[in-house]
């Protein structure tokens, strides 16, 4: 059974990150399954930190992007929006090149909050970063105060 509110295809995923920060740094949504969403990023010098490895903030941005898109795909987007509340990331292995892939899976999908686990792996399937993302589910038009 699928967790997604709408029917999506891998081909339609590319439109979900167009025009923003994710597109600017090269994050691409690549795959969707019944309970996961996957994104990829090429590790180039543009996303390195000064020591020639993937910047931790870029790993965090990749995790938050895939988790945030996934959370929003689980709600009726005309009635609700999911907004990030907290992100925790543990960087486990440096990556200097190639591609990393982030897979988001839910720990909890509730009416007011969601919690997602994200694993980032290198091309050899080695775990490079793990993250936990908490999202608030907010009614559209609700006051921000």
| Residues catalogued as catalytic | 64
CA nearest to 41, candidates 118, 123, 104: 123
Q: Report in angstroms the alpha-carbon separations of 133 from 53, 74, 83, 99.
A: 23, 15, 10, 22
Burial class (CB in 10 A: 0-12, 13-18, 19+), 45: exposed
How far apart CA 145 and CA 140 sit, in angstroms, is 14
How far apart CA 137 and CA 34 sit, in angstroms, is 21
CA nearest to 6, candidates 85, 62, 73: 73
CA nearest to 137, candidates 81, 69, 85: 81
């Amino acid at each position: 059974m699928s967790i997604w509110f709408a029917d999506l295809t891998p081909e339609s995923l590319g439109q979900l990150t167009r025009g923003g920060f994710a597109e600017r740094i090269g994050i691409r949504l690549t795959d969707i399954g019944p309970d996961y969403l996957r994104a990829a990023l090429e590790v180039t010098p543009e996303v390195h930190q000064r020591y020639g490895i993937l910047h931790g903030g870029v790993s965090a941005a990749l995790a938050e992007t895939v988790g945030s898109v996934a959370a929003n795909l689980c709600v009726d987007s005309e009635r609700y929006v999911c907004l990030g509340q907290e992100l925790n990331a543990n960087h486990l292995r440096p990556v200097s090149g190639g591609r990393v892939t982030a897979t988001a899976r839910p720990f909890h999908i509730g009416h007011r909050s969601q919690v997602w686990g994200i694993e980032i792996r290198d091309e050899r399937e080695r775990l490079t970063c793990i993250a936990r993302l908490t999202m608030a589910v907010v009614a559209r038009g609700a006051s921000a105060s």
